[in-house]
Amino acid sequence: MSASSRSGRDRLVVIARDPTTLFAYWELGGSLRPRLSQELGSAGLASAQWILRLTQLATGATLDIRVDPQAGNWYMAVQPGTAYESEFGLRDAHGGYRRLLAGGRVCTPPASFSSHYDRQWMVLEEDYLRLLAMGWTGPLGSFATSPGRREEPPAADEPPVGPPAGPEAQPSSPGVPGYTGRR
């Protein structure tokens, strides 16, 4: 049994790897191959060309790529910032094309940096001070303020806010040993 027929179904999936490359993978483990063999005969199926077709949606231009159906996957060089329709088909000995599997639409991202930025990731001074008050000291020491602003540490008689300070209070993930400080 080949790796492409383990799921027992026929499908084509095409995704953008980067702005200039699409990645396609297919499975031919369902009823498609037996049906084609019955319709075309074993000689007709052996002489047919398996085609991965991309149609550029804006222009209607098609790109046919001859592939080995046993390969199971393929990389394709494409234009950045472009939408494509993908399909898997068969070209017979007479040049006729037959669509077998639809892969759907896929868009490649632009090949440039985005002009948009997220201000939500910016740490505001108020948030910075609130985190410090909670005991998360980070690499700056036991008490610090943002540059250009001086504040006194909390009074000794005030109860601590947030989790206790120290190595045992540092965040960790399940199954990962707790933080034990810099080494």
Q: Find the CATH number of the domain harbouring 10.
A: 2.60.40.10
- Tell me: do 74 and 130 sit in the same domain: no
- Tell me: do 75 and 142 sit in the same domain: no
Task: Going residue by residue through the chain, which has 183 residues, state the pLDDT in tens, using 9 for 90 and above.
Answer: 444 446 678 999 999 999 999 999 999 888 888 888 888 888 888 888 999 999 999 999 999 999 998 899 999 999 999 999 999 999 988 888 999 999 899 999 999 887 776 666 667 788 878 888 887 666 554 444 445 555 555 565 655 555 555 555 444 444 445 545 554
Helices (H) and strands (E) in the chain, counts: 2, 7
Contact 125, 146 (CB under 8 A): yes
Which of 66, 62, 1, 64 shows the shortest CA–CA distance to 27?
A: 1
- Tell me: do 82 and 128 sit in the same domain: no
- Tell me: do 8 and 80 sit in the same domain: yes
Structural domain includes residue 179: no
- Tell me: do 82 and 134 sit in the same domain: no
- Tell me: do 60 and 143 sit in the same domain: no
Distance CA 153, CA 166 (A): 17
DSSP string, 70-94: TT-EEEEE--TT-EEEEEEEEE-TT
- Tell me: do 103 and 126 sit in the same domain: no
Structural domain includes residue 97: yes
Contact 4, 29 (CB under 8 A): yes
Domain that includes residue 137, residue range: 121-166
Q: How many domains does the chain have?
A: 2
